[in-house]
Amino acid sequence: MGMIEEARRGIVTEEMREVAKSEGVSEDFVRRGVAEGRIVIPVSPYREVKICGIGEGLRTKVNASIGTSTDIVDLEMEVEKARQAELAGADTLMELSTGGDLVEIRRRVIGSTRLSVGSVPLYQAFVEAAQKKGAVVHMDEDDLFRITEEQAKAGTNFMAIHTGINFETLKRLKHQGRHCGLVSRGGAFMTAWMLHNEKENPLYAEFDYLLEIMKEHEVTLSMGNGMRAGAVHDATDRAQIQELLINAELADIAHDAGVQTIVEGPGHIPVDEIEANVVVMKRVTNRKPFYMLGPLVTDIAPGYDDRVAAIGAALSSAAGADFICYVTPSEHLALPTPEEVYEGVISARIAAHVGDMVKLKKREGDLEMAHARKELDWAKQFALAINPARAMEIRRQRLPSDAQTCTMCGDYCALKIINQHFKF
């Protein structure tokens, strides 16, 4: 019996109990959320994972994506990226390799982490077609479903599946056009395949078969966003909205079939359109968990896109997004290093917390930090910090002569002065 069926029967599973305890909500709140499709808990019958609840009323979660490319294939580096993502506090991991031995890379990454691991089976199917048959457009539909099942059996907990790309979506894309084309690899692969073969997307046409695989192996379905904008000037256009509508309808079918489902959102959005995107997504999907890819709010800051995405992620979380995909400083420039993966996760975690301060009114940690600062309690300040090691290292490098203060104000520390003359 799957998670949704148990929740519908009133059964509170051990996973639901863990989520309730970690989030500070009731067990029945989690059970009802799962039963109604507002909360998912990625699991796998093939491996034990750190339980993570994603959805309405829960803390905004952060995903870190790693993986090789055709230019850089370094298995040990990918394993180290997984370690750094977990060390930095990521809630989930996605393994998105397109270069090297894809099966072995995924096996090693999955074996190196306790986090739920996601994948995009479509990548492997198209890469193998290019390697064995000369072009991605020669991908065989049966191979796509075979690879999906193989990745499920390997212990993948959730999968981004590009179900919302169909001929109607492509019609919208063609009629409106794009300033920056398609930036989703999955979207580009599937669009090219459909146009070349003059056939419907098999993930859409054979959706019932896809659900059989997902349900049998308890994989959470993440409805891929192949038409997402790669430039702020393409945000919220017809192709994106058309894909969302299709995914919303398919998400209801998946949930009715007992498959836990997430719906993915767009990637580049100006700040004045973020709330509208979240509200529309939540409304049309009947409040399914919303996975926002970034979003990046400007296109002119390469090298600092982790900060750009943090702005978008904070606003998205505050508006109701449940799950965000981090962005590293090397986005648009190069494959990230382990150090950049770590920095990307920290930036995304800060953004998620900022959003939760609004969405969930969770500000207790900030209040504790305010008190610790007033009391010049440095040990407590470090303990409350999102990245204690970074905070301690900065202070250690520039120690003050008075251990109570810091070198920003030195002898004229406002807090020390007022503490000597006034008690709040």
Q: What is the pLDDT of residue 296?
A: 98
The pLDDT, as a whole number, for residue 277 is 97
φ/ψ of residue 199, rounded to 5? -130, 155
Q: Under a CB-based contact definition with an 8 Å cutoff, are residues 323 and 63 in contact?
A: yes
Sign of the alpha-carbon torsion through 209, 212, 217, 222: positive
SS3 (DSSP) at 308: helix
pLDDT of residue 165: 97
Query: So what's the pLDDT on residue 420?
Result: 87
Distances (CA, A) of 346 to 61, 267, 332: 12, 19, 19
Considering only CA atoms, which of 245, 261, 243, 267 is closest in space to residue 165? Answer: 243
pLDDT at 1: 77
In this predicted structure, what is the pLDDT of residue 99? 97
Residue-range domains of the chain with CATH: 58-359 (3.20.20.540), 364-421 (no CATH)
Which residues, 6+ apart, have CB-to-CB distance to 5 below 8 Å? 258
pTM for the full predicted model: 0.96
Residues 215 and 136: beta-carbon distance below 8 Å: no
Q: Side chain identity at 390, as an amino acid letter?
A: R
DSSP per residue, 222-242: EE--TT--SSGGGTT-HHHHH
Beta strands (DSSP E) in 224-336 are 261-264, 290-292, 323-325
CA separation, residue 79 to residues 64, 95, 117, 326, 411 (Å): 13, 10, 13, 18, 47
pLDDT in single tens digits along all 424 residues of the chain: 799 999 999 999 999 999 999 999 999 999 999 999 999 999 999 999 999 999 999 999 999 999 999 999 999 999 999 999 999 999 999 999 999 999 999 999 999 999 999 999 999 999 999 999 999 999 999 999 999 999 999 999 999 999 999 999 999 999 999 999 999 999 999 999 999 999 999 999 999 999 999 999 999 999 999 999 999 999 999 999 999 999 999 999 999 999 999 999 999 999 999 999 999 999 999 999 999 999 999 999 999 999 999 999 999 999 999 999 999 999 999 999 999 999 999 999 999 999 999 999 999 999 999 999 999 999 999 999 999 999 999 999 999 999 999 999 999 999 998 888 887 7
Describe the crossing of helices 185-197 and 121-133 by its angle, rounded to 10 degrees.
50
Q: Are strands 39-40 and 54-55 parallel, antiparallel or unpaired?
A: antiparallel
| Contacts for 133 with CB less than 8 Å, ≥ 6 apart | 139
